[in-house]
Structure 1
Amino acid sequence: MPFSLMLRTLLALVMLALPLSAFELPSKSTQCVVAVASDWGATHVTLTAYEKRGNQWVKALGPWPCRIGKSGLAWGLGIHPNPPGTKLKKEGDWRAPAGVFHLGGAWGYDEAIQKHPKLPYRQITKRDLWVEDSNSPSYNRHLVIDHEPSTAWEKKQQMRQGDHAHSLKLFVAHNAPPKVTPGGGSAIFFHIWRAGGTKPTAGCTTLSEDHLSQLIAWLDPTKQPLYVLLPQAEYDARRSAWKLP
């Protein structure tokens, strides 16, 4: 076997052997939203928000009940390492992405919302699209078109659907730009739950409108907030090594 091939093979084996404990939350992230499910098939989670003071995570909000994907969870594409050979979230699988994710900006129907001055917010218009078409070069990206949506494709991607559940949203950076995997899952947000929390989701995390408003108002982009979503057993197994709250 050529030496170069041996070296590549050895490096690949080393990478596979690296423990998940090699990862930990970024030290500059001092706000962390944690949602824990009972198991991989659960559609309910409990959410608690924490802020780091010194070396300690201190509870800031919650615990609050939330709903997630109709089919539970699957490992997602965030900043965390995924176990080798694991089944990952896919487009249309009705699963919420598990792992550690950056939180993006807020979106809503209102002209303005209560938020940190540095948190990006966009009022959604009929021309705002979020592309969920895996075959599009704009997959899992926000687009603003220069005309009223006219084609069936444009209408399907519209962010504004006259649906109160999506009238306030917070982006979860799963499979997010600039590195987007086609078919890896798109349009993952926090948004308002349906029917008082009696309905699961297609993959988003939903909670009451009041709690979502409180969460968005609390977030400080300068503290590089994160979202951790895991089943209880996975959270317990990684809590120390990953330096989770």
Structure 2
Amino acid sequence: MASIPGESRQVLVVTGTDRDSSTSAAALYERSTTGWKLTAGPWAARNALRGWTSDHRIGDLRSPIGVYTLTDAGGLLPDPGSHLPYNQSSGFHLTGHGYEGEPLAGSFDYVVAINYNRKPGTTPLDWTRPWGADKGGGIWVHVDHGGPTQGCVSISRTHMRQLLKALDPALVPVIIMGDAASLAQ
């Protein structure tokens, strides 16, 4: 919590069960004059196939540990009422199968870009990588497809819609993400 920027009053906390696990829980909090209050969740969530890392690299199949701003959203489907800038595009169309044979179609119906190695204020589809291509990118919160991700966080479609409607740029939302032991340090 000490890593949350002072101006942030909304935080999505994604806590993995352990360093090498692809299962997590997500909960949304808002800061008031009396402290942090749970406003949504906890929800079942998934992260990368191999768990978490403090040094994410493209293709490592681990989700990056850290605190990142949430400034932009989008998806294949129309905006469900997001307060974040929302980019509807056919570029979010996804096919194929995940690591457990599950279909990936619909996973990018709704996304929130996690500002890990990306340029805030752009569509989630912008592939600008300020830290270089080897540090990966394209890390999003998106619709769960029933299996682990490549590096993203996924939650159910219902919870994704709820999150999009709840995130408020005026509250400077951030995500805190990682395994429980790393987040406790």
1:181 to 104, 120, 132: 132
Percent identical: 27
Distance in 2 separating the partners of 1:114 and 1:202 = 27
Give the alignment's TM-score, normalised by structure 1: 0.64
Deviates more, 1:37-46 or 1:173-182: 173-182
Distance in 2 separating the partners of 1:52 and 1:211 = 20
Distance in 2 separating the partners of 1:236 and 1:94 = 23
Q: Which of the pair is proportionally richer in helix?
A: 1
Cα pair 2:94 2:107 within 8 Å, conserved: no
Residue-by-residue CA offset, 1:61-101 (whole Å, 9 max, x unaligned): 001110100011111xxxxxxxxxxxx11001111111100
Structure 1 residue runs of 4+, over 3 Å off?
Answer: none
Identify unmatched segments of 5+ residues in structure 1.
1-20, 76-87, 129-158, 238-245
Question: Residue 180 of structure 2 corresponds to which residue in structure 1?
Answer: 232
Distance in 1 separating the partners of 2:13 and 2:79 = 26
Question: Residue 13 of structure 1 corresponds to which residue in structure 2?
Answer: none
Q: Quick check: 1:110 aligned with 2:61?
A: no
Q: Quick check: 1:220 aligned with 2:168?
A: yes
Whichever residue aligns with residue 34 of structure 1, its letter is V
2:60 to 90, 93, 104: 93
Aligned residue for 2:19, secondary structure, equals coil
Residue-by-residue CA offset, 1:134-177 (whole Å, 9 max, x unaligned): xxxxxxxxxxxxxxxxxxxxxxxxx3235211111110011123
Distance in 1 separating the partners of 2:154 and 2:3 = 26
In the TM superposition, residue 54 of structure 1 has moved relative to its aligned partner by 1.1
Question: Residue 93 of structure 2 corresponds to which residue in structure 1?
Answer: 160
Q: Which of the pair is proportionally richer in strand?
A: 2
In the TM superposition, residue 55 of structure 1 has moved relative to its aligned partner by 4.7
Count of aligned pairs: 167
Distance in 2 separating the partners of 1:217 and 1:192 = 14
In the TM superposition, residue 180 of structure 1 has moved relative to its aligned partner by 2.7
Distance in 2 separating the partners of 1:46 and 1:56 = 21
Q: Following superposition of structure 1 onto structure 2, how do residues 178-217 of structure 1 map, counting pairs within 5 Å? A: 179-194=130-145, 197=146, 199-217=147-165
Q: Following superposition of structure 1 onto structure 2, how do residues 33-182 of structure 1 map, counting pairs within 5 Å? A: 33-75=12-54, 88-116=55-83, 119-125=84-90, 128=91, 159-161=92-94, 163-177=105-119, 179-182=130-133
In the TM superposition, residue 182 of structure 1 has moved relative to its aligned partner by 2.3
Give the alignment's TM-score, normalised by structure 2: 0.84
